[in-house]
Amino acid sequence: MTAFPLPPGSVIGVLGGGQLGRMLALAAARLGFDVAVLEPEADSPAARVAAHAVVGAYDDPSALARLAELSDVVTYEFENVPARAVATLAELGVETAPCARALAVAQDRVAEKTFLNEAGVATVAFAAAHDAAGAAEAVAQVGVPALMKTCRDGYDGKGQRWVEHLADAAAAFAALGGDPVIVEAPADFMRELSVIAVRARGGEIAIYPPGENHHENGVLRRTSAPAQVSRKAAEQIERIAHQILNSLDYVGVIGIELFELKGGRLLVNELAPRVHNTGHWTQDGCEVDQFEQHVRAVAGWPLGPTEPHHRVEMTNLLGEEAAAWAALAAEPESRLHLYGKREMKAGRKMGHVNRLHPLK
């Protein structure tokens, strides 16, 4: 049985070797921890800054056993890791955080929205479907226009289609691959907000100021934080975060995406049971960023402060945009974060830049 808090020198395992794992590993190193990364691809961004690298599939029993052998606690960097992998690690006697339930909830959009509603958190109206006839029934129930999404694996605008007419429902279902879908009512929102929150092993909760997000072609382009929100909205955000974290008995950082409607009402769009792209602004805008905060939580350490000391505009660098690194590094107000990916591809997240402004 792992004893918490973990002392420096302990090993934190990470399922996933992408940019989030890389930034988690760097944050863990600052606190004196080593990191072991399990990733299917060799030479991953996270593995190159970690003390240990295990190359293998996330559901490979021998790879999971090796990660368990190395680690004092295991976390994950993205929610498409099989929930069964986290359960297997727990069976091997390794503490995992966040829990397998949080991962399972976030991996299925119907399960996610059902959980949110049961936790007393509002979402758009939705219906589930498993075949073409059910998809038509779901669209009829929700009304048109409606957004049809695959229940699993969609991200950055992928795996979804708008249905403008009821007669188009079956074709949309087929175009999405014939897999189970969720049909969502549109949200007439003024803007998208997100909040990064963290819950410690003892149940303490800390919440960062919300950010305002802007997307292009379904991909997050930039986040501005702290966002200007009313006291009513701030109170809603705090209540929502507490309800979600406590209902899951959560440990670690979570990203919560929200729609702000006219009149100030907030609906939750999605959960991410991990550190989150919309929280990258905290790296240069706060005393303790989301990555260190996550390491603190899973290791059983006290949470750090979440107060901002700068206003930040975070911009994702996609594809060849990262080639402008020299010019970006020369901007005195900018802080450049590159992910160490070997190949630039169109639309691929290669890094981000945080531009700092005084708090008003």
With 80 as the cut, is the pLDDT of residue 360 above it? no
Assigned CATH topology for domain 125-184: Dna Ligase; domain 1 (3.30.1490)
With 80 as the cut, is the pLDDT of residue 168 above it? yes
**212 DSSP β-pair partners:** 193, 224
| Average pLDDT, rounded, for the chain | 96
Query: Of the candidates 195, 5, 206, 209, which has an alpha carbon nearest to the alpha carbon of residue 97?
Result: 5
Architecture label for domain 11-96: 3-Layer(aba) Sandwich (3.40)
- pTM score: 0.95
- Specify the range with the lowest mean pLDDT, choosing from 119-133, 155-169, 332-346: 155-169
Contact in structure between 254 and 271 (CB atoms under 8 Å)? yes
pLDDT of amino acid 157: 60
7: Cβ contacts below 8 Å, ≥ 6 apart = none
Residue carrying the six token digits 């606690």: 73
CA atoms within 13 A on the CB side of 315: 13
With 70 as the cut, is the pLDDT of residue 156 above it? no
Q: How far apart are CA 54 and CA 32, in angstroms?
A: 20
Tens of pLDDT, residues 255-277: 999 999 998 999 999 999 999 99
Query: Of the candidates 231, 331, 248, 337, which has an alpha carbon nearest to the alpha carbon of residue 289?
Result: 337
Average pLDDT (151-180) is 89
What are residue 115's phi and psi, to 5 degrees?
A: -60, -45
Q: How far apart are CA 200 and CA 35, in angstroms?
A: 20
Match domain 189-357 to its CATH number in 3.40.50.80, 3.40.30.10, 3.30.470.10, 3.30.470.20.
3.30.470.20
Q: How far apart are CA 272 and CA 243, in angstroms?
A: 15
* CA 93 to chain centroid: 26
Local structure of 262: helix, strand or coil: coil
For the chain, domain boundaries: 11-96, 125-184, 189-357
Average pLDDT (119-147) is 97
